[in-house]
Structure 1
Amino acid sequence: MPKKLDPPAYQAPPSDTAQTLLALFHAQAEVSRLGEREQLFSSLLESVNAVLWAFDWETRQVLYVSPAFERIFGRQAALVLSDYNEWRDAVYPDDLAHAERSMADVLVNGAVEDREYRIINAAGEVRWLSDKCYLKHRDDDDNRVIIVGIAEDITEKKQLERELQRLATTDVLTQSSNRRHFFECARQAFDDARADGTPLSFLLLDIDDFKLINDSYGHQQGDQVLQRIADSGKSALRRGDLFGRVGGEEFAAVFPGCTREVAEQIAERLQREIQRLSFSHGQKPYCVTVSQGLTSLDEGDEGLESLFARADEAMYQAKRQGKNQIVLG
């Protein structure tokens, strides 16, 4: 006969204490999981080199900034959270109106993603930010508007852009404008003068006997002559004038808002600056001279090419008349 099995022993339901302990255990596990997620989230925020932020439009209160704020702005997060002016004070003064106006545009467009401005951090450094912002929430009951954004430090990118722009527009040897950039700016100056009815003068300058300098003293010496002529041009011209190297030994200048009489005075000053330059090859000193052709905007001029042609003809006339002089065209 098979052995008769005893019925299972009676188990009492868990006591209140046991249930409480079980609930606490589950709660602790959930807290632990939440803590891990929060720690992970905090670690992610710490590693992001951009400021995440939230702003209450109605109360003008910064609700949140991520840890990168203190690294990029060099200011305590608690200060900007308590006073919105901490952010305003950090913005480069010339960019403040744009920074505030572009943030206001998010109310109309829902997002603004091409917003760039400069800040001055606590160390006094000027930094560029790309600060995208979005309309997150609008509560029609209390008209509460929350704007969120992400501000990335793009200073290095801006520096690279400036360097690429400089390389694209500058003559490497003389550090003056190259031919393409000079004529782009000169055409714009011509168009502005025609539109505004203001005077404009145009100058061409060619170094006399430059080939002889290269042949006699070498190209390194010729390069030095070009560099010093360019330096003289930059020092003799006014702020806002255009100056560039437009050929091998040929330079050009444009004088916006400048009458023929004033332009002639500037050209004479440049002539004197260049005549004072001294060079030497070994123990042999030598000087250089230039021939200049100068002209001004006339009513019949339809394009910059007219001024260029007259200045070019005047410059070659200066060559034919003995060099080292200015001829008006």
Structure 2
Amino acid sequence: MAKERHPSIQTGPPRPEAAQTLLALLHAQGEVARLSEREQLYSSLLDSVNAVLWAFDWETRQVLYVSPAYERIFGRPASLVMADYNEWRDAIHPDDLDYAERSLAQVLLQGTVEDREYRIINGAGEVRWLSDKCYINQQREGERVIIVGIAEDITEKKQLEGELQRLATTDVLTQSSNRRHFFECAQQAFDRAREDGTPMAFLLLDIDDFKHINDSYGHPEGDQVLQRIADSGKAVLRRGDLFGRIGGEEFAAVFPGCTAQVAEQIAERLQREIQRLSFTYGQQTYGVTVSQGLTELSDQDTDLDNLFGRADAAMYQAKRQGKNQIVRG
């Protein structure tokens, strides 16, 4: 006797519409998985980038997006800047705020600004340098203006640049300006004084009998003398004056906006400060003196070399007259 087939149980291949539904479901699950993987990949990439990706609505002054690096670089919660753009403004170094805002506005005219560099003060109170490039993301006329950008922390690069600049412009032994940098700055001061019609004084200073110090006590002792005299120069000179070591035992100073009378008072203070220095070698104590030549800018001076030449001649006259004195030339 034949077995009776239950009407609800389907045998044989599935109906075509059921197969299509199953395939669609499997395809959808695959798309979801791929989207999830892609989202995880994007998230991982954004986490690894040490720069802040950001988007800003120009009209509403609203930050639309900041990447995870914002909290690492700014040291502040991202939720605060998303709620109030002033959080970003308040983090900018006060001396750089005007520039940061003006350079951001330039993107409206140029479409892109790639040379913005400014400082921020992060949540820990540290000063950081940012290179902040920005672009307009407006596709069609009439659409709202969205500015997007990438702010990279370049603090280490700036520190390296500063150190290289210091090495290029500083005398290694005395930490004062080296000859090349001193004369570059002196030339700029000379040009400004000529253009503005303001006074300027030039001073040369040479250590008396320095060869005797090196021969008697050794070069390390001579190096200490140079360092102490450089320290005295930096302590006595005014803010804005230039001071540098331009030769073995020779130093120079430029006094912008200063007459020879006022510059001579400063040179006298420096002379007294150096005379008070005391050095010890073994059981022996000794001091040092300097000879100084001073001159000022005149209407006939067309070149910095004119001042340098007169100051040099005055300094050698001070040597011939017995040393340890100031001669004006």
Alignment TM-score, normalising by the size of structure 1: 0.94
Instruction: Confirm whether residue 246 of structure 1 aligns to residue 223 of structure 2.
Output: no
Matches within 5 A, 1:122-133: 122-133=123-134
**Residues 317 and 327 in structure 1, CA contact (< 8 A), matched pair in contact too:** yes
Query: How far has the Cα of 1:13 moved from its partner?
Result: 2.4
CA distance in 2, matches of 1:91, 1:227: 38
Give the structure 1 partner of residue 43 of structure 2.
42
CA distance in 2, matches of 1:193, 1:323: 31
Give the structure 1 partner of residue 54 of structure 2.
53
Query: How far has the Cα of 1:10 moved from its partner?
Result: 7.4
- Report the AA paired with residue 58 of structure 1: E
CA distance in 1, matches of 2:83, 2:240: 45
CA distance in 1, matches of 2:100, 2:117: 8
Deviations 1:132-165 (A, max 9, x none): 1111115433x51011111100000000000000
Structure 2 gap ranges (5+): 1-10
Give the structure 1 partner of residue 324 of structure 2.
324
Structure 1 gap ranges (5+): 1-8
Matches within 5 A, 1:172-191: 172-191=172-191
Matches within 5 A, 1:26-41: 26-41=27-42
- 1:42–1:318 Cα change, 3 Å: same
Instruction: Confirm whether residue 74 of structure 1 aligns to residue 79 of structure 2.
Output: no
CA distance in 2, matches of 1:139, 1:74: 36
Q: Residue 203 of structure 1: SS of its match in structure 2? A: strand
Give the structure 2 partner of residue 263 of structure 1.
263
Query: How far has the Cα of 1:21 moved from its partner?
Result: 4.5
- 1:69–1:12 Cα change, 3 Å: closer
- 1:12–1:298 Cα change, 3 Å: closer
Give the structure 2 partner of residue 155 of structure 1.
155
Give the structure 2 partner of residue 307 of structure 1.
307
Query: How far has the Cα of 1:107 moved from its partner?
Result: 1.0
Query: How far has the Cα of 1:303 moved from its partner?
Result: 0.8
Query: How far has the Cα of 1:24 moved from its partner?
Result: 2.8
Q: Residue 45 of structure 1: SS of its match in structure 2? A: helix
**Residues 199 and 297 in structure 1, CA contact (< 8 A), matched pair in contact too:** yes
**Residues 138 and 145 in structure 1, CA contact (< 8 A), matched pair in contact too:** no
Q: Residue 135 of structure 2: SS of its match in structure 1? A: strand
**Residues 241 and 253 in structure 1, CA contact (< 8 A), matched pair in contact too:** yes
- Report the AA paired with residue 170 of structure 2: T
CA distance in 1, matches of 2:40, 2:147: 25
Deviations 1:221-243 (A, max 9, x none): 00000000000000010000000
Q: Residue 137 of structure 2: SS of its match in structure 1? A: strand
- Report the AA paired with residue 68 of structure 1: A
- Report the AA paired with residue 302 of structure 2: E
> Runs in 1 of length 4+ with deviation above 6 angstroms?
none
Give the structure 2 partner of residue 24 of structure 1.
25
Q: Residue 55 of structure 1: SS of its match in structure 2? A: strand
CA distance in 2, matches of 1:147, 1:63: 10
CA distance in 2, matches of 1:187, 1:106: 37
Query: How far has the Cα of 1:210 moved from its partner?
Result: 0.2
Matched residues, number: 319
Deviations 1:43-68 (A, max 9, x none): 01101111111111111111111110
Q: Residue 129 of structure 2: SS of its match in structure 1? A: strand
- 1:20–1:11 Cα change, 3 Å: closer
Query: How far has the Cα of 1:220 moved from its partner?
Result: 0.5
Deviations 1:70-110 (A, max 9, x none): 10001111111111001001111111111111111111111
CA distance in 2, matches of 1:325, 1:195: 33
Q: Residue 294 of structure 2: SS of its match in structure 1? A: strand
The alignment's C-alpha RMSD in Å is 1.4
Query: How far has the Cα of 1:14 moved from its partner?
Result: 4.3
Deviations 1:147-206 (A, max 9, x none): 111110000000000000000000000000000000000000000000111100000000
Query: How far has the Cα of 1:22 moved from its partner?
Result: 4.0
Give the structure 2 partner of residue 13 of structure 1.
15
Deviations 1:230-259 (A, max 9, x none): 000000100000000000000000000001
Query: How far has the Cα of 1:11 moved from its partner?
Result: 5.0
Q: Residue 138 of structure 2: SS of its match in structure 1? A: strand
Give the structure 2 partner of residue 95 of structure 1.
96
- Bigger mean CA offset, 99-108 vs 117-126: 99-108
Q: Residue 55 of structure 2: SS of its match in structure 1? A: strand
Give the structure 2 partner of residue 3 of structure 1.
none
- Report the AA paired with residue 228 of structure 2: R
CA distance in 1, matches of 2:306, 2:208: 24
Q: Residue 59 of structure 1: SS of its match in structure 2? A: coil
Give the structure 2 partner of residue 4 of structure 1.
none
Alignment TM-score, normalising by the size of structure 2: 0.94
CA distance in 2, matches of 1:270, 1:27: 85
